[in-house]
Structure 1
Amino acid sequence: MSAKTFYALTLIVHEDQSAESIVLTIDKFVTESLHASFGKTQLSSRVWDYELEIDNYPKALGLIKTQCLNQPYDLILQPSLTRRDKQLFIFDMDSTLIYQEVIELIAAYAGIEDKVAEITTRAMNGEIDFNESLRERVSLLRGIDSTTIWKELEEKIEITNGVRPLSKALKKLGCVLGVCSGGFIPLAEHIKNELGLDYAYANTLGVDEKNILNGETIGDIVNGERKAELLLEIAQKHGIDPRNAVAIGDGANDLKMMSVAGFGIAWNAKPKVQLQAPACLNTKSLLDVLYILGYSDVDIKDLLE
């Protein structure tokens, strides 16, 4: 018989939902489906921590994912003793730190939305991999003046709700923060500077002698494998155990960095990613990540002062 381990099961009720009936549902789920007795602590008006013992984490996680499917709440399971030990956070950029997909902004800027959308559809259907889809999209950007496009796009970028206070709180806790994006380095650097992150990695676009995009990338493509490598490189540089790292993203190319980190959070992610990620967060604010780490509203207020 496997030894039981203490876990924290965090219930985060989505905004504008009535919490009372949901809490009763989860009480019953923990008792009847997870077969666990529990202690319960309220972290906010819509967040509760359940302290319980579990002897089969994969089985429990599968039951939790089934329970949460298309529900107005999220359930996050993790070992209770280590969740505040996190020292490194690596974020995806598009549809995570920012609301938009940068390639779509560029396509609109260049008037090539239909062509880019066709490549995106082929990639989503598995007809081409990420590297090939990036090359094809980038080739469509040939001839664009790079001296003007990035400044114009910076003004269109919308940072996701909760990201600024989350970054502030994590920095106050002494965490190392980075963005690893399959997008492009000028905008990743812009986000790094806006949020006070420590690292920014993304793809570099080639230019000619007049700073006109030549339709090619320079150096390693930042795909799923490269994101995982970068997370491990940053952790090693700072002497951080990867088990104390958290990867946060929305796409399939974020799953590998989630797998090498101690914990991964799928943020309003595609269904495939939600099924494979260690945890899912489908709320309106990334500040809710702090609840997952076990911080209450009172704690969060102190962190943001």
Structure 2
Amino acid sequence: MFIATLIAAERISSGDISAAEDALRARGIEAMGRSWIEEDVACDLLFSADPATAREALQGLVPGADLVVQGEAGRRKRLLVADMDSTMITVECIDELADYAGLKAEVAAVTERAMRGELDFETALRERVALLKGLDEAAVDRCHEERVRITPGAEALVRTMRREGGYCLLVSGGFSRFADRVAGAIGFDRAVSNALLFEQGRLSGVAEPIVGAKAKRDALVYAAASQGVKLSDVIAIGDGANDIPMLEAAGLGIAYHAKPKVAAAADARIDHGDLSALLFAQGYARNEWES
């Protein structure tokens, strides 16, 4: 059995669900029932075959609603692996850090290209850090306090999954001075990220090897093995091209407000809602969320 979950950023109606059932029927798929996870917000449609066709039929059908199509079995995942910048937090830390050096526009342009997959991530990171060489170490802490904001739904997602026995890993191509604090604030079990180097209180570089696309996937595979979790029981989320290998390795890879190349590679994408959509996708109603 398979489930197509429609998740509204604001509201979804019974008429919208009927339209979805009609769209499936037009493609030769008979919906075997509907079940509201949260009235007017998130609804499951159960069907027996052809999930790829179901996804094609329903993607973008309901304005303002996201879609997740997956197998019914193993819906509630045992391992979460999440990107940080523009996913678990609302900003790209390196771009905000560059603002303290008066270089935000220049650095942000490179970040955008790297996230789209137009540049090699590791090389682009080294080059961006080199532009910031000499930045006062105190600016890193100021940047965290003044700019870093947790994405809505992040804490509920992580804390609910951990309450249910899941393991949660934050894996970032960003920097540990941010990631370690973000992981602690949200409730992750562990964080993997890049270490900035300082000499006499000034930024001098970034430690090697760089945590890039391969390292993110490797971290997911290692976490699954160490926790005794099958890859099919992993949910991964990210927004940039360096997240694609880990999204592809996970049982359910989700692109979050992502670049087109990432959205195309993922099993599902969240374009409208916040991170609470991942709780609805796993069948958790609001009264089950850990606050």
Q: TM-score, normalised by structure 2?
A: 0.92
Question: Any unmatched runs of 5+ in structure 2?
Answer: none
Asked if the contact 2:255/2:263 (under 8 Å) is kept, the reply is: yes
User: Which of 48, 57, 61 pairs up with 1:53?
Assistant: 48
Q: Counterpart of 1:140?
A: 131
Asked if the contact 2:114/2:241 (under 8 Å) is kept, the reply is: no
Instruction: Tell me the amino acid that sits aligned with residue 24 of structure 1.
Output: S
**Cα gap change, 1:90/1:141 in structure 2, threshold over 3 Å: closer, same or farther?**
same
Give the alignment of 1:283-298 within 5 angstroms. Answer: 283-297=272-286
* Residue 170 in structure 1 maps to residue 161 in structure 2: yes
Instruction: Tell me the amino acid that sits aligned with residue 170 of structure 1.
Output: M
* Structure 1, 122-131 or 20-29: larger mean CA deviation: 122-131
User: Which of 16, 21, 28 pairs up with 2:22?
Assistant: 28
* Residue 245 in structure 1 maps to residue 245 in structure 2: no
Q: Counterpart of 1:83?
A: 75
Which whole-Å deviations, capped at 9, do the CAs of 1:21-50 have from their partners, x for residues lacking one? Answer: 322221211211252232111111221111
Aligned residues: 289
C-alpha distance in 1 between matches for 2:116 and 2:275: 29
Q: TM-score, normalised by structure 1?
A: 0.88
Q: Counterpart of 1:264?
A: 253
Identity %: 33
Question: Any unmatched runs of 5+ in structure 1?
Answer: 1-5
* Residue 153 in structure 1 maps to residue 148 in structure 2: no
C-alpha distance in 2 between matches for 1:266 and 1:88: 17
Give the alignment of 1:177-256 within 5 angstroms. Answer: 177-208=168-199, 210-214=200-204, 216-256=205-245
C-alpha distance in 2 between matches for 1:141 and 1:59: 48
Instruction: Tell me the amino acid that sits aligned with residue 271 of structure 2.
Output: N
Question: CA-atom RMSD, angstroms?
Answer: 2.0
Q: Counterpart of 1:304?
A: 290
* Residue 73 in structure 1 maps to residue 65 in structure 2: yes
Instruction: Tell me the amino acid that sits aligned with residue 89 of structure 1.
Output: L
Deviation at 1:282, TM superposition (A): 2.4
Give the alignment of 1:90-169 within 5 angstroms. Answer: 90-120=81-111, 123=114, 128-146=119-137, 148-155=138-145, 156-169=147-160
Q: Secondary structure at the match of 1:43?
A: strand
Q: Secondary structure at the match of 2:197?
A: strand
Asked if the contact 2:20/2:61 (under 8 Å) is kept, the reply is: no
Deviation at 1:166, TM superposition (A): 1.7
**Cα gap change, 1:244/1:100 in structure 2, threshold over 3 Å: closer, same or farther?**
same
* Residue 273 in structure 1 maps to residue 235 in structure 2: no
C-alpha distance in 2 between matches for 1:201 and 1:142: 23
Q: Secondary structure at the match of 1:96?
A: helix
Which whole-Å deviations, capped at 9, do the CAs of 1:256-302 have from their partners, x for residues lacking one? Answer: 101111111111112222222101122332122111011223xxx24
Deviation at 1:232, TM superposition (A): 0.7
Q: Secondary structure at the match of 1:68?
A: coil
Q: Counterpart of 2:35?
A: 41
**Cα gap change, 1:241/1:92 in structure 2, threshold over 3 Å: closer, same or farther?**
same
Asked if the contact 1:10/1:50 (under 8 Å) is kept, the reply is: yes
**Cα gap change, 1:119/1:295 in structure 2, threshold over 3 Å: closer, same or farther?**
closer
